[in-house]
């Protein structure tokens, strides 16, 4: 139960823009669940210098929402007028371009990683592994793919959330669905693309003796992804993902590459093969998920994201 409420003085300071940043953050979080305080802050904002502008915007929105559909002539966007109901010509940039069959808002919610270079890099890695195996007849294609696979979701998570990746990060983070909820949505989108693609590519690669199965990377990849989210609550997702990726590349991938072209399976077996190691990765994933749950509120106003 809330024991603190927004005072009239704090509401006036917030409306004028003179409230301290921590106080403004606390106020914005509090009014999400307190109707009387939301009403008090709204009245203070309307009574301030922004009141006349808000009144004009409110009147325009209400007028547009209540007007008959046939009388709506159009909306200005990016220097152009878009007529209601008219189909925008292809390539005009009216909205984020959606994949065939997917609404634009679903692609937008999925995150920048699925609209940028990360997706192309993921496709290149899987295609490269298949080309090495069947085009160059390289027997170590599966161990190499299994060694690199856990890092790829990390890169997708690091590029999906934060002001470095999303030009609308401040707007999205301020919405009720922002923060950890949006981060988990985009993480799920990254995993939904990378897990089937990498696992299928691993299954298509030629099997060899002592080489782990195509799904051996899943628990390490999940543990590293959850660790990036949990560590991101302290230092930001980009820094957490980059640090864990560099650690994995240095500890796992570098020794595997150093053994080319021999003993690839033996090097990889030290990190992802066997019930004991897989159980350890599962336990690490559970611990990271627990820490993430404890730290969930830190994503509400995390400036380092």
pLDDT at residue number 85: 44
What pTM was estimated for this model as a whole?
Answer: 0.62
pLDDT at residue number 81: 45
Judge whether 107 and 115 are in contact, CB under 8 Å: yes
Judge whether 128 and 202 are in contact, CB under 8 Å: no
- C-alpha 164: how far from its chain's center? 12
**Low-confidence residues in the chain, pLDDT < 70:** 1-2, 67-111, 113, 115, 164-178, 208-209, 256, 259-267, 300-305
pLDDT at residue number 57: 81
Q: Let me know if 133 is exposed, middle or buried by CB neighbors in 10 A (0-12, 13-18, 19+).
A: buried
pLDDT at residue number 287: 96
CA distance 259 to 266: 9
Judge whether 221 and 150 are in contact, CB under 8 Å: yes
Q: How many CB atoms lie within 10 A of CB 188?
A: 12
Determine how β-strand 75-77 pairs with β-strand 80-82.
antiparallel
Dmax over Cα atoms in the chain, in whole Å? Answer: 75
Q: Let me know if 299 is exposed, middle or buried by CB neighbors in 10 A (0-12, 13-18, 19+).
A: buried
The partner residues of 82 in beta bridges, in order of sequence, read 75
For the stretch 106-129, pLDDT in tens is 555 566 767 677 888 889 999 998
With CA atoms as reference, report the closest residue to 224 among 207, 198, 246, 203. 246
pLDDT at residue number 253: 80
pLDDT at residue number 137: 84
CA distance 217 to 215: 5
pLDDT at residue number 89: 43
**DSSP 8-state secondary structure symbol assigned to residue 274:** S
Residues contacting residue 203 through CB under 8 Å, at least 6 positions apart: 214
pLDDT at residue number 131: 93
CA distance 201 to 81: 46
| Cis previous bond, 138, omega within 30 | no
């Amino acid at each position: 139960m809330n024991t603190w409420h927004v005072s009239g003085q704090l509401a006036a300071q917030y409306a004028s823009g003179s409230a301290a940043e921590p106080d403004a953050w606390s106020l914005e979080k509090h009014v999400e669940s307190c109707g009387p305080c939301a009403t008090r802050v709204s009245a203070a904002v309307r009574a301030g210098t922004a009141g006349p502008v808000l009144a004009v915007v409110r009147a325009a929105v209400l007028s547009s929402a209540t007007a008959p559909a046939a009388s709506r002539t159009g909306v200005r966007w990016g220097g152009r007028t878009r007529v209601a109901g008219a189909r925008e010509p292809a390539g005009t940039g009216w909205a984020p371009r959606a994949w065939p069959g997917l609404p634009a808002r679903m692609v937008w919610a999925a995150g920048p990683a699925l609209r940028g270079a990360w997706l192309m890099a993921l496709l290149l890695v899987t295609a490269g592994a298949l080309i090495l195996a069947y085009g160059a007849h390289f027997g170590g294609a599966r161990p190499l793919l299994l060694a690199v696979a856990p890092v790829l979701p990390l890169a997708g998570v690091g590029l999906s959330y934060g002001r470095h990746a999303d030009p609308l990060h401040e707007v999205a983070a301020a919405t009720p669905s922002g923060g950890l909820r949006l981060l988990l949505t985009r993480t799920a989108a990254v995993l939904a693309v990378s897990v089937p693609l990498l696992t299928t590519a691993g299954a298509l690669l030629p099997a060899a003796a002592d080489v782990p199965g195509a799904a051996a990377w899943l628990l390490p990849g999940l543990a590293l992804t959850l660790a990036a989210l949990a560590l991101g609550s302290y230092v930001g997702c980009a820094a957490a993902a980059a640090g864990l990726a560099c650690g994995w590349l240095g500890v796992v991938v570098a020794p595997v590459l150093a053994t080319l072209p021999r003993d690839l399976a033996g090097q990889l077996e030290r990190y992802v093969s066997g019930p004991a190691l897989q159980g350890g990765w599962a336990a690490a994933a559970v611990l990271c998920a627990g820490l993430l749950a404890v730290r969930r509120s830190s994503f509400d106003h995390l400036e380092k994201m």
